[in-house]
Copies of this chain bind each other. A is one copy, B any other.
Amino acid sequence: MNLKQLSQKLGLSQTTVSRALNGYPEVNEATRLRVERAAAQYHYRPSTRAKGLATGKALAIGHVIPISSKHEMVNPIFGDFIAGAGETYARHGYEMILCTADDGQEEQVYRGLKARRAVDGVVVHGPRLDDSRIRLLHDIGLPFVVHGRSSGATLPYAWLDVNNRHAFQRATDFLLDLGHLRIGLINGMECMDFAHRRRDGYTIAMLARGVPVDPSIMRSSEMTEDFGYQSTRDMLALGDPPTALLCASLISALGARRAVEEAGLVMGRDVSIITHDDDLSYLKNGGDIPIFTATRSSVRAAGARLAEILLGGIADPDLPHQNVLLEAELMVGRSTGPAPRKD
């Protein structure tokens, strides 16, 4: 069923039917009701493509998933983020379109999206330090919101981020308060902006207390379980091993715990662990009492909020760039305790 057929069935012009359905004022209420009922009855829905063509909008938002061809790594938070954003898009009549982009060809993908007029805006995932995508999207005139931030970017841009620096600063302080002095950092890849900021927070807190920052207990890589395990095992084998660990993700924290237990140590007693927790639906941090003490911030909520920002910016391009900084909660779980006394 298309507009023409529907309007013929109603004995009205396409104009009137279209206006009735789109809430324009110049149509009799009785007529509008009749139209709406008929539309529902025949399951009429305007074709997105035709509507898009006619209005000059794409009625779609693009998400470009960076996929490192080296590591073939897909960001595990992606599913939850999308779930949050998707609901918002649907409510506003937008489609969500996904593209994957290997390392080198990211620029191509964004340009293609723009040239094909496939989207009205995009979400930038996984920003790196001084991320080139910001300049690129600015230049080609494609509205965007960054999930995270990009230190070093000179242009103003819209973003939504968790206050990673503050979160890790608080977490480090929490451990310092418990008497820990050897605090290991198991970070994400520090070319990623969020990891860089977390490290900053960690360093700031350590230095503020005059505790030395020791590179030998700071690791940085993709946040896999195995990386958490290896890093922890290595660090525990040091002459002066850490009594506490700061992990960048629940997944690497699971690996860290494995190494701790494998070494015959008890988490929360011999080694304390704090992790960041993205509150992923498939990786809950325990039940009532969290397993891990964690800095928590829901990625899914972030997705929903970010989508609102993007759509708002598209609806009114003159609006100033929105910047939203979310604070993470510090949830105390069972993985932390006072630093073990040296005997």
Task: Give A contacts to B, CB under 8 Å.
Answer: 1, 43-50, 52-53, 58, 60, 65, 67, 71-76, 78-80, 82-83, 86-87, 90, 95-100, 111-112, 115-118, 222-226, 230, 251, 254, 257-258, 261, 280-284, 286-287, 291, 300
Contact = CB atoms under 8 A, between A and B. Distances in A.
Contact of A45 (B58, B67, B116): B116
B65 A74 contact: no
B82 A282 contact: no
Q: How many copies does the complex hold?
A: 2
Contacts of A87: 100
Q: What 3 A-B pairs are tightest by C-beta distance, nearest first?
A: A86-B100, A45-B115, A76-B282
A117 B50 CA distance: 10
A106 to B, nearest CB: 13
A97 B49 contact: no
B226 A287 contact: yes
A46 B50 CA distance: 15
Nearest to A258: B257
B65 A58 contact: no
Nearest to A76: B282
A72 B281 contact: yes
